[in-house]
Chain A
Amino acid sequence: MRYFLVLIPLALLPLLLNDFWVSQVLTRALILGVIALSLSFLATYLGVVSFAQVTLAGVAGYAVAYFGPNTVGLGFPLPLYVSLPIALLLSMAAGALIGLVARRSRGIYAIMITLAIGVAFFYFTRQNYALFNGFTGFSGVIAPKMGEGNWGDPMPLYFLALGVSVICVVLVNGFVRSPLGLAVQAVRDAPGRLLALGIPTTYPIVAAFAFSGLIAGSGGILNVWFQERVSSFSVGIGPIIDVLIISVIGGLRHPTGAFVGAIVYVMLDIFAIDLIDRDRFNLLIGIVLLAIVMAAPNGLHQLAIDWVGKLRGRAEQPRTN
Chain B
Amino acid sequence: MPLNTEQKTTTANALETQGIGKRFGGFWAVKDVSFSVKPGERRAILGPNGAGKTSLFNILTGDYVASSGAISLFGEDVTKQSIPKRIKRGLRRTYQHAYLFDGLSVCDTLFLAVAGVRGGWRQVLPVRSNDPRREEAERLADVCGLASFLDRMVLELSHGQRRQLEIGIALAEDPKVLLLDEPAAGLSPAERPLLSKLLLSLPADITVILIEHDMDIAFQTSESVTVLFNGQLMAEGTPEEVMADKDVHQIYVGGAHGH
**With A194-B112, A199-B112 in contact, do A189 and B104 touch (Cβ < 8 Å)?**
yes
Decide if A130 is an interface residue (CB 8 Å cutoff): no
The chain A residue sitting closest to B109, CB to CB, is A186
Chain A residues with a Cβ closer than 8 Å to the other chain, count: 25
Determine which of B93, B103, B123 lies in contact with A178 in the assembled complex, contact meaning CB atoms within 8 Å: B123
Q: Which secondary structure dominates chain A's binding surface? A: helix
Interface size on B, residues (CB 8 A): 33
Contacts A174-B125, A199-B84 given: A179-B112 contact, CB under 8 Å? yes
Closest beta carbon of chain B to A274's beta carbon, Å: 43
- How far apart sit A107 and B127, CA to CA, in the bound complex (Å)? 30
Complex interface bits, B95-132 against A, C-beta within 8 A gives 1, otherwise 0: 10001111110001101110111001111111100000
Identify B104's interface contact among A178, A182, A196, A199, CB under 8 A.
A182
CB nearest to A176 among chain B residues: B126
B241 beta carbon closer than 8 Å to chain A: no
Q: List the A side residues contacting B116 at CB < 8 Å.
A: 194, 197-199
Residues of the B chain whose Cβ atoms lie less than 8 Å from the Cβ of A185: 101, 103-104
- A178 near B127 with CB under 8 A, answer yes
In the complex, whether A290 has a CB less than 8 A from a CB of chain B is no
Query: Which residue of B112, B126, B172 is within 8 Å of A186 (Cβ)?
Result: B112
Check A178 against B117 for contact (C-beta < 8 Å): no
**Is B61 an interface residue when CB atoms closer than 8 A count as contact?**
yes
Tell me whether B205 is interfacial, beta carbon within 8 Å. Answer: no
B103: which A residues are within 8 A, CB to CB? 185, 188-189
Contact assessment for A178 and B126 in the assembled complex, using a CB-CB cutoff below 8 Å: yes
19 contacts between A and B (CB under 8 A): A179-B111, A180-B123, A180-B124, A182-B104, A182-B111, A185-B103, A186-B101, A186-B104, A189-B103, A189-B104, A190-B102, A193-B95, A193-B99, A193-B101, A194-B116, A197-B87, A197-B117, A198-B83, A199-B84
